[in-house]
């Protein structure tokens, strides 16, 4: 891809940068939500295991 295939005017260049920054922000937000979901799921599973282990010890 050549350097000159993108937007030509400064306004077009700025718009393209803003669009790319927005796409990057959306990707980061998605990754953050997925990480939070994984942490929540892990904590839930850990609690279930602890409860199961406590119940097994009582028997």
pLDDT band at 59 (very low <50, low <70, confident <90, very high): confident
CA triplet 23, 24, 30: central angle to 5 degrees?
A: 90
> What is the predicted pLDDT for the residue at 8?
78
C-alpha to C-alpha distance for 12 and 4, rounded to whole angstroms: 13
Question: Percent of the chain having pLDDT more than 90?
Answer: 81
pTM, full prediction: 0.65
- pLDDT tens-digit series, residues 18-34: 999 999 999 999 999 99
pLDDT band at 35 (very low <50, low <70, confident <90, very high): very high
Domain ranges within the chain, ordered by starting residue: 10-59
Residues of 12-48 as b/e, b for ≥16 C-beta within 10 angstroms?
eeeeeeeeeeeeeeeeeeeeeeeeeeeeeeeeeeeee
């Amino acid at each position: 891809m050549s350097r000159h295939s993108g937007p030509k005017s400064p306004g077009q260049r700025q718009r393209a940068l803003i669009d790319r920054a927005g796409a990057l922000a959306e990707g980061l937000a998605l990754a953050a939500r997925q990480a939070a979901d994984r942490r929540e799921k892990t904590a839930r599973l850990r609690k279930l295991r602890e409860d199961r282990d406590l119940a097994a010890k009582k028997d």
